[in-house]
Amino acid sequence: MAEAALNGMTVDEFLRWAGGADDRYELIAGRPVAMAPPGGRHSLLSSNLNGEIRNVLQSRRPCRIYTEDGLIPSHRNDAFYVADLAATCVPLGQDGRIRDPFLIIEIQSPSTSRSDYRNKVPDYRLIPSVLEILLIDSLSLFAEVLHRDGDHWVTELVQGRRGVLTLTSVPLQIPLIELYDGVPLPSDDDGGVAVG
């Protein structure tokens, strides 16, 4: 497809186009954007979060946590996002996409944080089913939780070795240090966060 034709794509056009692409893409404001492959920190954080949330959701079937599945903001026809993790109580559609997520998690890196804040978070906030958005830093013990409170959003910042992450939508309360177990951080001498 010619470069000019890649601008202004609809979700349907994007899905047909992306099906033949070798790399992974998201559709942001009608333009395909290549996704960087996840690094080791990202993968460990995703695995740790997935395990903790999956354990809590075991008793809330049919609720499940999904990793790197596509979702389409209901109010847009020019956006297709691949959230790092998303929880929903609605079975996946036949197209394999997440429906009605109540929790969306993005693991941030220097290459993704700007797009997450500028593009994804505003759209995620407009999805009626979304109760919480978690943005977690892959380079430091830091998380930002956005909680829906009626018609507005409340932001909670959690940081450092004593920080405790609280998600009310799951529900989950866990020290940040446990979520970062094994994740190498730039300030670590031993190559990973030690629990305890």
Is residue 1 pLDDT above 50, yes or no? no
- Going by pLDDT thresholds of 50, 70 and 90, the confidence category of residue 3 is very low
- Going by pLDDT thresholds of 50, 70 and 90, the confidence category of residue 25 is confident
> Is domain 37-179 annotated with CATH 3.20.20.70?
no
Is residue 112 pLDDT above 60, yes or no? yes
Task: Determine phi and psi for 126, rounding to 5 degrees.
Answer: -90, -5
> For position 65, what pLDDT does the model report?
94
Is residue 193 pLDDT above 70, yes or no? no
Where do the domains of the chain lie? 37-179
> For position 159, what pLDDT does the model report?
96
How many whole angstroms separate alpha carbon 142 and alpha carbon 158?
A: 6
Is pLDDT larger for residue 15 or for residue 63?
Answer: 63
Is residue 189 pLDDT above 50, yes or no? no
Tokens 């998201």 sit on residue: 26
Among 34-48, 58-72, 161-175, where is mean pLDDT lowest?
A: 34-48
Structural contact between residues 108 and 122, judged by C-beta atoms closer than 8 angstroms: no
- CA distances for 174 relative to 48, 167, 177, 189, angstroms: 11, 9, 8, 24
- Going by pLDDT thresholds of 50, 70 and 90, the confidence category of residue 156 is very high
Among 2-11, 74-83, 100-109, 184-193, where is mean pLDDT lowest?
A: 184-193
- Going by pLDDT thresholds of 50, 70 and 90, the confidence category of residue 21 is low
pLDDT in tens, 89-98: 998 877 777 8
- Going by pLDDT thresholds of 50, 70 and 90, the confidence category of residue 187 is low
How many whole angstroms separate alpha carbon 193 and alpha carbon 183?
A: 6
Q: Model-level pTM?
A: 0.83
